[in-house]
Amino acid sequence: MTPAWPARLSPNASAVLAQLQPEVQEMVRDVLDIASRQPWGWPQWDPTDLDGPHLRRADVGPLTVVYFVNQPREYLYVLSIVWAG
């Protein structure tokens, strides 16, 4: 079993997370936990972009988390969190 990769939040993602309700924050943490164990398990942001396979989006209901897989350093960089609920 491969170890989970840590997730780092951009300033924008961190600000959005801080404004969400506690149960939504928990959902974000759960999604990032899943993504950290299988970074390429979520779909590519734009499947037609052959140069961007490291940019991923994790969608669960009204929640979307967009992250970049930093393969050399083995961490996820969260660019955006969108809650449409």
**Is 76 part of any domain?**
yes
**Is 78 part of any domain?**
yes
Q: What is the pLDDT of residues 9-61, one digit of tens each?
A: 999 999 999 999 999 999 999 999 999 999 888 989 888 988 788 999 999 99
Rounded to whole angstroms, the Cα distance separating 63 from 31 reads 9
**Is 2 part of any domain?**
no
* Type of residue at 83: W
**Number of domain units in the chain:** 1
Residue 4 buriedness (CB in 10 A; 0-12 / 13-18 / 19+): middle
The residue to which tokens 């309700």 are assigned? 21
**Is 47 part of any domain?**
yes
Name the pTM for this structure: 0.89
Residue 66 pairs in a beta bridge with 57, 80
DSSP H stretches of helix in the chain: 11-19, 22-37
Residue 20 belongs to what domain range?
7-83
Residue 65 belongs to domain with CATH number: 3.30.2310.20
